[in-house]
Amino acid sequence: MNGIIVINKPEGYTSFDVVAIMRRLLNIKKIGHTGTLDPMASGVLPILIGRATKLQSLMPNTQKEYIAKFRLGVTTDTLDITGEILSEQNSNVSMDELSSVLKYFKGDIMQMPPMYSAVQKDGIRLYELARRGISVERKERTVCIHHLEMLNFNEGEQICEILVRCSKGTYIRTLCNDIGTKLGCGAVLTSLIRTKSNSFNLEDSITIDKAKELSEKNMLLSKILPADKLFSMYNRVKITKPQEIRFKNGGGLSINRIKVNSNNHDGDIYRVYNENDIFIGLGKINKIKGELSILCLLELS
């Protein structure tokens, strides 16, 4: 049993809770997720099953998409509504003022990872230190906000809803907090839905309740997707049996003998399939050698 099952994580569950539930339902030990969602968040959580777990380190840095709500005038220690309130003030921000500030958070920006996060410091998760009342120095890092759009703003309640498409590693809690800081009133995340992760969206996902229902009917396996779905953004190439043997032994394949995009660039990645259309791994173009060189071999069938 190898592949991916996409879960619509409910609020109140950790990502590890979901993994534990799916491990039990599928009766398999080797299982993991592709990216942590905070307990208060819901939405797309791809689960890797069996030998597909080895793909996690190879996943491309694709965009993630969220719908988030935040309230102006409030700050907490966790940067979301579940935390302890640190400050609270009357906020009278107008839609025009908010719109003018949002433009500063598009493109490459610097973010400070929050203390309540899974980032490690000397081998210890920051949230473990935060729960002990310990705050440590952290380094800002660059993230990219590809798209930031205001969906709704209730000026009376000072609650804003935004759509965010961003790079891997972006903290939406931090984004909302930084917007509030820029406005001079503070802000706290009140709701978060991940609507897209990698090439998967909410339409590809099932709820935990649905997974349990399908498991009882012995139909859960029908929801497992092929592992190569993780790499659908890459072009594919089909190779012959002799080429497959060479590829599996680490040999490069001449790009003149395989059907690859004629406009390929050095470093371009391809999904490689054998003559039976079975996904066998990823290859990378080496323009100097004129070859498709092995990037990784994945025996998932």
pLDDT tens-place string over residues 126-174 = 777 778 777 777 888 999 999 999 999 999 999 999 999 999 889 999 9
CATH topology of domain 234-297: 2.30.130
Average pLDDT over residues 41-46: 96
pLDDT band at 195 (very low <50, low <70, confident <90, very high): very high
**Cα 33 from Cα 280, distance rounded (Å):** 22
Q: Which residues contact 273 (CB under 8 A, 6 or more apart)?
A: 236, 237, 238, 239, 279, 280
pLDDT band at 113 (very low <50, low <70, confident <90, very high): confident
Higher pLDDT, 54 or 207: 207
- What dotted CATH number matches 3-57+199-229? 3.30.2350.10
Q: Collapsing DSSP states into helix, strand and coil, what is residue 49?
A: strand
Asked if 166 and 144 touch (Cβ cutoff 8 Å), the reply is yes
Asked if 186 and 80 touch (Cβ cutoff 8 Å), the reply is no
> Active-site residue 38, yes or no?
yes
Q: With CA atoms as reference, report the closest residue to 235 among 271, 281, 263.
A: 271
Asked if 111 and 171 touch (Cβ cutoff 8 Å), the reply is yes
Residue that is written with structure tokens 């809770």 in the block: 17
Ordered DSSP codes for 264-279: --TT-EEEEE-TT--E
Q: Which residues contact 122 (CB under 8 A, 6 or more apart)?
A: none
Ordered DSSP codes for 16-37: HHHHHHHHHHHT-S-EEESS--
Residue 119 Cα distances to 85, 113, 222, 252, angstroms: 23, 7, 35, 38
Average pLDDT score, the chain: 91
Q: Which CATH class is domain 64-196?
A: alpha beta
Burial state string for 256-267 with b = 16 or more CB within 10 A and e = fewer than 16: eebebeeeeeee
**Cα 292 from Cα 283, distance rounded (Å):** 6
Residue range(s) occupied by CATH 3.30.2350.10 in the chain: 3-57+199-229, 64-196
Taking only the tens place, the pLDDT of each residue in 69-87 is: 999 999 999 999 999 999 9
Residue range(s) occupied by CATH 2.30.130.10 in the chain: 234-297
Residue from 38, 80, 178, 268 carrying the catalytic annotation: 38
Handedness of CA 36, 271, 200, 2 (dihedral sign): negative
Taking only the tens place, the pLDDT of each residue in 281-299 is: 899 998 888 899 988 887 6
**Cα 29 from Cα 26, distance rounded (Å):** 9
Helices (H), 56-125: 95-102
Query: Which H, E and C letters describe 199-266, residue by residue?
Result: CEEHHHCECHHHHHHHHHCCCHHHHCECHHHHHCCCEEEECCHHHHHHHHCCCCEECCCCCCCCCCCC
